Structure 1
Amino acid sequence: MEIIHDLRRLTSLPIKESIRVPLLQHLTEPFGSVFNAIECWEEIGCFLVYIDHCDGDRALNVFDQAHNYCLTAIKNHHEYVVKIGENNSHLLVLAILHDSGSGVYLLAPIDHPSRYLKSITI
């Protein structure tokens, strides 16, 4: 699991370019540019949680409790879901956490067995 608070760190994620390119497009589209997205994320407190197959429900539960139940918010109150990557291999999910607009994005393989993803449909 990796947590990204700064969009400039997207290159550190262990994902293919076929996922990284559309990911960056989806994360920056509402803001008009990468620069505006970076500023807005810093200002209102957005972040991305990347999980892969080695992240099980136990680790995700601990993370969820330590981070104000943001994964539960994604599971129960997501506002945006899209498939990205080659063969739509990953889900990108957004949940707004506060009235200020801060939110959490989740990027995960579409076939991840976590309970946080099983109820999400497109």
Structure 2
Amino acid sequence: MAARFELKKTRNEKFVFNLLAANGQVVLTSETYESKASALGGIESVRKNGPDDTRYGRLSAKDGSPYFTLKALNGQVIGQSQMYSGAKARDGGIESVQANAASAALDDQTL
């Protein structure tokens, strides 16, 4: 299975997307968007900014778990990863987004 964006509607009628790696694991989750058009714009921003290593924040949660954020050119966070077991696993998640975001298909589950 190829990498893909899953676009979903939340319980309160807003929109969120996940970028799934080829193995089906979520590697990036978006913020919540008010409209579908804004969420689709977020997906395009991930496609545009995903390959650029300078757009990633390599962070640690309060418990020390590594994770990353992806930021747009204006500095706004587009998406955040899950928590990882170590920095090497986190960096693998970043590499997955870099390699797959630009060509990932859209699975629109809002229809």
Class of the TM-score when normalised by the shorter of the 2 chains: 0.3 to 0.5
TM-score by length of 1: 0.31
Q: Which has the higher helix share?
A: 1
Scaled by the length of structure 2, what TM-score is found? 0.33
